[in-house]
Amino acid sequence: MDIHAVAKLAHVSIATVSRTINHVPTVNAKLAKRVWEAIRELNYYPNTQARALVSGRSRLLGLIVSEITNPFFPELIQGFEDVAVENGYEILIGSTNYDPERMQRCIRRMVERNAEGVAVMTFGIEQPLLDQLADRNVPLVFVDVAPNRPAISVLKVDYHHGIRQGVQHLAALGHRRIGFVSGPLRLHSAQSRLAAFKKALGECGIAVEETLIFEGDHTMEGGMAAAQKMLAGKDLPTAIMCSNDMLAIGVLHELSRSGLRVPDDISIIGFDDIHMAAMMIPPLTSIQMSRTDLASAAVSALRGHLEGGQKREHRIDTRLVVRESTGFPRGTMSHLRGRRETVPAAVEPA
Amino acid sequence: MDIHAVAKLAHVSIATVSRTINHVPTVNAKLAKRVWEAIRELNYYPNTQARALVSGRSRLLGLIVSEITNPFFPELIQGFEDVAVENGYEILIGSTNYDPERMQRCIRRMVERNAEGVAVMTFGIEQPLLDQLADRNVPLVFVDVAPNRPAISVLKVDYHHGIRQGVQHLAALGHRRIGFVSGPLRLHSAQSRLAAFKKALGECGIAVEETLIFEGDHTMEGGMAAAQKMLAGKDLPTAIMCSNDMLAIGVLHELSRSGLRVPDDISIIGFDDIHMAAMMIPPLTSIQMSRTDLASAAVSALRGHLEGGQKREHRIDTRLVVRESTGFPRGTMSHLRGRRETVPAAVEPA
DNA sequence: GCCTCGGGAGTAAACATTTTCTCAGGGAAA
DNA sequence: TTTCCCTGAGAAAATGTTTACTCCCGAGGC
């Protein structure tokens, strides 16, 4: 069931079969028809490794994410896969779990399998590890920040836009003490989000209070831990912004365990707007960063490098999605409670 | 940077390099050392496609899941990947989204890439589509049910055990009207879960009421829709069991939107025990089906076919994990509320 | 001392393609 | 009619491995 069988059945040479399969235009229509019929009849599939070997093109794109169990990433992977497959590429997934050793193995696998391009969506680079890829001139895409070399693109996320919308939303509701649960600050994206938050506070005329800023780790457990620390402090914030939705879910959970109500006692805003956010109780106000945009920008950046185009920088927007985890701060405008104009009415306790 | 370069640098033949890499024991230790040094110095990686081409082994395992955005599957993928990589395999992921056309493409990709084995974890087979794989004698693993052919294994999930525990738990709390939100009934696994539920009801001496059984689709939206239908009925159940956690989360969300409290008004039990279940408000009582067990059973079944072992059937356990979404039915034993002995005290509203 | 056996290393074939040459044949121009 | 060019198809080289086969050399047995 190789190309020779097809050639024999179609009474042509193997070269003609190959050309037919690859849609080389010089092949005679009549022969091509015979070839396609033979292919169908034999149920023939070209051998990918042989193709890759001789052509030097694996048609494989790598995607390295930090944590496949964070729902943000499956949504991203889905989009990435769809766009990649659409363009005739297969994808290779690696999940690092923030572990440099796993990262190392992922990269090794990408190199071994000859991935033609790799998207590193871990939101934080481990520079030395990636040299193996960069040294081989494998096109790369990063998020936020990237070494400045040829064949490397960056997806610049405009954290500031969405986060400012979030802070403005809180400020408009009357919040002045706004806490922040950050991601691990060694991650560039976590730093950017925190910086955007501080900047937005300034723009709203609110002073930054370092005691209201907690470092988490982008997991639900991290959110719980941060909330516990926060609750242990004496002067609670009236609203908390989180560096991602998983943190927000953890915070929400911990507040609920402590008997605090969201948004009546404390408002919460997440980041990413994962699908699950809308299902939380209360549904989580969050800052959306489109996974499909991110995915298609990543693929198109890689394709750019591979197929001649370029455009080294892509911009990704963020925007606030208001749901029911944000409301007026406790004690203010309480007579209006339940009649908020900016958010749909939450389910109030009986 | 191919094997010849290494051979040259180490002053040996390419065959010796190949043997060294593959740990063929006959190679002289001294030469092997020279080879390894050369490999390190050149930073050489063997070309996977060439290896695969000549050896006929791609060292690729396929994993087809129904929906990568359902958190159950990333957890499964994680486990599968870990075990596969541990055994020197790479994985190829396909997500069908319950769409036969996508399934078709997934299978085609698996065949084209020469996957050595494929785990079909869609919890429901599309028989004719899989013939392409079966015809090529690719070892397969299914969940619950599989065509009886050589090189095909089944992972039999013992739904009944966990579901019975769940029903018993509810019955012990005093529930007699227990609803069920099933998955899509064309999926074998959804049918099995429903059947196990009915059987367990019988064992607890509770009659099956068909009007309390709703068909969902294993998504949160499906759970919401089912809950809406349920709420539209006149005689509400006091507890609801769901065919997976996503449904349960949807139901929880919809009940909350309607002002009903869980577990005070209605108890809920999910299935799968995804990580997120513990973070819901209230934390979801669920029936655990271990992803890591499933993953390692799948890989070991495939390896069995590939490397000579066999064992065609693996058993997967399920067990109840009690959290706070289950409690006494409304109106009964209300004097005991807050003093349940079987469940940790829930956070009661003030 | 010679022959045989075997350990260990090298040579070359095989794997299934793509792609560059090469060549045949036909049509058009001189 | 001859020559040139062009179209289209086949032959063969090349891709980077693994592995069967060969070969050399040393040791041991007769």
List the single residue in B with minimal CA-CA distance to A224: B279
pLDDT tens string B192-204: 999 999 999 999 9
pLDDT tens string B292-311: 999 999 999 999 888 766 66
| Cβ-contact A114, A130 below 8 angstroms | no
Task: Provide the mean pLDDT of chain B.
Answer: 89
| Distant-in-sequence contacts of B203-207, Cβ < 8 A, 24+ apart | B203/B164, B203/B167, B204/B167, B204/B168, B204/B171, B206/B167, B206/B171, B206/B176, B206/B178
In this model, does residue B242 exceed pLDDT 90? Answer: yes
In this model, does residue B335 exceed pLDDT 90? Answer: no
State the maximum Cα–Cα separation within chain A, in Å, rounded to a whole number.
87
Cα distance between residue A45 and residue A43, in whole Å: 7
Percent of chain B topping pLDDT 90: 69
| Cβ-contact A66, A123 below 8 angstroms | yes
Percent of chain B topping pLDDT 70: 92
| B15-22: average pLDDT | 94
| B117-145: average pLDDT | 81
What is the per-residue pLDDT for A106?
A: 87
Low-confidence residues of chain A, pLDDT below 70? 125-128, 309-312, 332-350
pLDDT tens string B55-81: 999 999 999 998 899 999 999 999 999
The protein residue nearest nucleotide D9, judged by CA to C1', is: A16
What is the per-residue pLDDT for B311?
A: 63
The protein residue nearest nucleotide D16, judged by CA to C1', is: B50
Tell me if residue B230 falls in helix, strand or coil.
helix
What is the per-residue pLDDT for A34?
A: 92
Please indicate if any CB of chain A lies within 8 Å of the CB of B250.
yes
Q: What is the DSSP string of B141-186?
A: EEES-----TTEEEEEE-HHHHHHHHHHHHHHHT---EEEEE--TT
pLDDT tens string A258-307: 999 999 999 999 999 999 999 999 999 999 999 999 999 999 999 988 87
The protein residue nearest nucleotide D10, judged by CA to C1', is: A13
| B199-228: average pLDDT | 95
Please indicate if any CB of chain B lies within 8 Å of the CB of A92.
yes
List the single residue in B with minimal CA-CA distance to A74: B69
Please indicate if any CB of chain A lies within 8 Å of the CB of B345.
no
Task: Provide the mean pLDDT of chain A.
Answer: 89
User: What residues of chain B, 48 to 77, have a C-beta less than 8 Å from chain A?
Assistant: 48-50, 52-53, 58, 68-69, 71, 73-75, 77
Q: How many CB pairs under 8 A join A and B?
A: 124
In this prediction the pTM is: 0.89
Cα distance between residue B78 and residue A282, in whole Å: 30
What is the per-residue pLDDT for A309?
A: 64
**Beta strands at A285-289 and A318-321: parallel, antiparallel or unpaired:** antiparallel
Query: Straight-line distance from CA B85 to C1' C6, in Å?
Result: 38
Q: Which nucleotide is nearest to A47 (CA to C1')?
A: C16
* Optimal mutation site among A69, A73, A137, A138, interface B, most CBs of chain B within 10 A: A69
What is the per-residue pLDDT for A100?
A: 86
pLDDT tens string A229-247: 999 988 899 999 999 999 9
| B179-191: average pLDDT | 93
Instruction: Please check whether strand D approaches the CB of A14 to within 7 Å.
Output: yes
The position carrying tokens 């002002």 is B259
Please name the member of A69, A132, A279 whose beta carbon is closest to the beta carbon of B75.
A69
